[in-house]
Amino acid sequence: MSPWLVLFPAALVAVAFLRRRLSQAAFFAADHGASAWLSGLAGTAIGLSAFTFIGGPALVASVGSGALWMILPAPLTGALQCWVLGCWLVGRQPRPLSLPQLLAEDLGPSVRPVAALLLAAGCLAGLVVQAKAIEVLAQGLLGEPAKLWMLAVFLATMAYAAAGGMRVAVWVDAVQGAVMGAVALVVAWVALRHALSAGALLPWLREGGAGLGSFGQVPAAQAFSWYLLFTVGSLAQPQYLQKFFFLRSQEELRRLPLALTGSLMMVLTVWVGLGLAAGALVQAGLLPAAGDRTVPLLLRQLGPGVLAAAAVGALFAISSTVASLLNLLSAALTWDLPQAFGRHRWSLAWGRLITLLAGLAALALAASSGRTVALLGLLGWGFFTAAFLPAVVAAVGRWPVGRAAPLAMAVGAGLCLGLEALRPQLPGGVEPGLVGAGAGFALLALAGRARG
């Protein structure tokens, strides 16, 4: 398959929307007009990355059932997000468009520039990681040249994200989410059947290898830390909050947990199915234990159709996340930062231009040295958890934190980054994102106590 094929549909969508005059609500929040299912499917596609299709199952194959603790929060997080975040922001009038704006409304205007800058930095790092993920995906599944795939997928996503903003991207993401769910079910089913017919799955389960049990080869403390990080962390990821800005009404909010949980668990089937099949085949000596390459090797065993389906699912997972990160970054720089400094007029042209420039910057950074990328890769889930979770909880709970919120965000983010750099020396179960969030909470609690 040629990488340039992905550009044609994106170019068509971009041309169709290029001449339209979009408001900021349309560009950043899909006009607040999405139903629960549209928002839920798009939210699931945005929230999941290619790691779901490749890295996650490979982790199950290498450390066993302990890796399942990363996805074990899935039944809870949909309901929890709707309780904590949805109830907080969907009923507001006028509807806000971004996380920094929301935080500023509840915690004071000084929060907005800090939140916007942290969000922009995290989104840029996230984009670089997604670009590198395309490269890895091309090497394992799509075929060379990897750099060309990276360029084509980014240009395609940048085209529709810049032309139509989330007004278009919410539909594209929802379709991609539905395809990801269908692909995940098929791939998981075929992989498990393959492991079963190869005589690897049942003996592995019956004899109880080292990877089974409740935690596999992962220490219990690490498994619980993952559970906690991926449960509470889901409340602080800007790309997870985005779906609530799309939502039409509180009545739709009531239906959203079903849409979110259903679509999320459907896609995560691939993590369980591929992971267990790969683990069993590795134990039986029918598949080499090759780290992240284990899953591509298994997919090749399953045939070209399954390989292509998994590649499409992983590509859609990346593309939807990229579209969201581009839009969030554009909102931070063209909506939140100018407003924080008193400039209240928003320009669609700037919104589009920053979307394109952000994509190009991410491509340039991804093409540079691996060391830089590895460093930027640290700014992921844990970074957003450390930076935003205390502030979000303080805003939701209406804590009297005064002007401490920007400091708590900066300290949490900084601590998370510092600890990530020391990760090999950290004891098991210590997650930098959680420690950073803990420090932020402590600061906010002290500030609240000082204010009485």
Partner 1 sequence: MSWKAAACALALALSAPALGLPAAVAGLLAALATLLSLARRWGPPLGPSRWHVRAMLAALSGLLVPSLLLAHRPLVGLLWLLGPCYLLAAPLFLWLFDQGFRRPR
Q: Which residue of 7, 11, 84, 289 would you call a contact of partner 1, by CB under 8 A?
A: 84
Chain centroid offset of residue 365 CA: 19
Q: What are phi and psi of 48, to 5 degrees?
A: -105, 145
- Closest to partner 1 by CB, 79 vs 175, is 79
- Closest to partner 1 by CB, 253 vs 416, is 253
Q: CB count, 10 Å around CB of 136?
A: 18
318 binds partner 1 (CB under 8 A): no
**Residues 308, 108: Cα–Cα separation, whole Å:** 49
393 binds partner 1 (CB under 8 A): yes
Q: Which residue of 10, 71, 267, 439 would you call a contact of partner 1, by CB under 8 A?
A: 71
Beta carbon of residue 71, minimum distance to partner 1 (angstroms, whole number): 8
The residue range among 11-19, 62-70, 127-135, 163-171 that interacts with partner 1, by the rule CB under 8 A, is 62-70
Beta carbon of residue 289, minimum distance to partner 1 (angstroms, whole number): 19
Asked if residue 278 lies in contact with residue 57, where contact means CB atoms within 8 angstroms, the answer is: yes
221 binds partner 1 (CB under 8 A): yes
Asked if residue 396 lies in contact with residue 232, where contact means CB atoms within 8 angstroms, the answer is: no
154 binds partner 1 (CB under 8 A): no
189 binds partner 1 (CB under 8 A): no
Q: Is 407 exposed, middle or buried (0-12, 13-18, 19+ CB in 10 A)?
A: middle
The residue range among 12-20, 49-57, 229-237, 286-294 that interacts with partner 1, by the rule CB under 8 A, is 229-237
For residue 370, CA distances in Å to 28, 124, 358, 376 come to 32, 16, 19, 10
240 binds partner 1 (CB under 8 A): no
Q: Which residue of 198, 228, 289, 353 would you call a contact of partner 1, by CB under 8 A?
A: 228
277 binds partner 1 (CB under 8 A): no
Asked if residue 424 lies in contact with residue 374, where contact means CB atoms within 8 angstroms, the answer is: no
- Closest to partner 1 by CB, 81 vs 319, is 81
Beta carbon of residue 335, minimum distance to partner 1 (angstroms, whole number): 26
Q: CB count, 10 Å around CB of 220?
A: 13
**Residues 396, 185: Cα–Cα separation, whole Å:** 37
297 binds partner 1 (CB under 8 A): no
397 binds partner 1 (CB under 8 A): yes
DSSP 189-239: HHHHHHHHHTT-HHHHHHHT-TT-TTTTTS-HHHHHHHHHHHHHGGGS-HH
Q: Is 410 exposed, middle or buried (0-12, 13-18, 19+ CB in 10 A)?
A: middle
For the four alpha carbons of 440, 443, 449 and 451, in that order, the dihedral sign comes to negative
185 binds partner 1 (CB under 8 A): no
Q: Which residue of 40, 47, 78, 440 would you call a contact of partner 1, by CB under 8 A?
A: 78
Helix (H), strand (E) counts: the chain:
21, 0
**Residues 373, 367: Cα–Cα separation, whole Å:** 9
The residue range among 18-26, 140-148, 223-231, 378-386 that interacts with partner 1, by the rule CB under 8 A, is 223-231
399 binds partner 1 (CB under 8 A): yes
- Contacts of residue 107, defined as CB under 8 A and 6 or more positions apart, other chains included, come to 391, 394, 395, 401, 405
Beta carbon of residue 384, minimum distance to partner 1 (angstroms, whole number): 16
Q: Which of residues 327-386 bind partner 1 (CB under 8 A)?
A: none
Q: Look at residues 322, 326, 352, 253 and name the one whose alpha carbon lies nearest to residue 24.
A: 352
Site string for partner 1, 19-58 (x = CB under 8 A): ----------------------------------------
Q: Which residue of 7, 258, 348, 375 would you call a contact of partner 1, by CB under 8 A?
A: 258
Q: Which residue of 140, 209, 351, 359 would you call a contact of partner 1, by CB under 8 A?
A: 209
Beta carbon of residue 221, minimum distance to partner 1 (angstroms, whole number): 4
249 binds partner 1 (CB under 8 A): no
The number of C-alpha atoms within 13 Å of 384 and in the hemisphere containing its C-beta is: 27
Query: For binding to partner 1 (CB under 8 A), which residues are involved?
Result: 65, 68-69, 71-72, 74-76, 78-80, 82-84, 87-88, 91, 205-209, 212-215, 220-221, 224-225, 227-228, 231-232, 235, 250, 253-254, 257-258, 261, 265, 272, 393, 396-399, 429, 445, 448
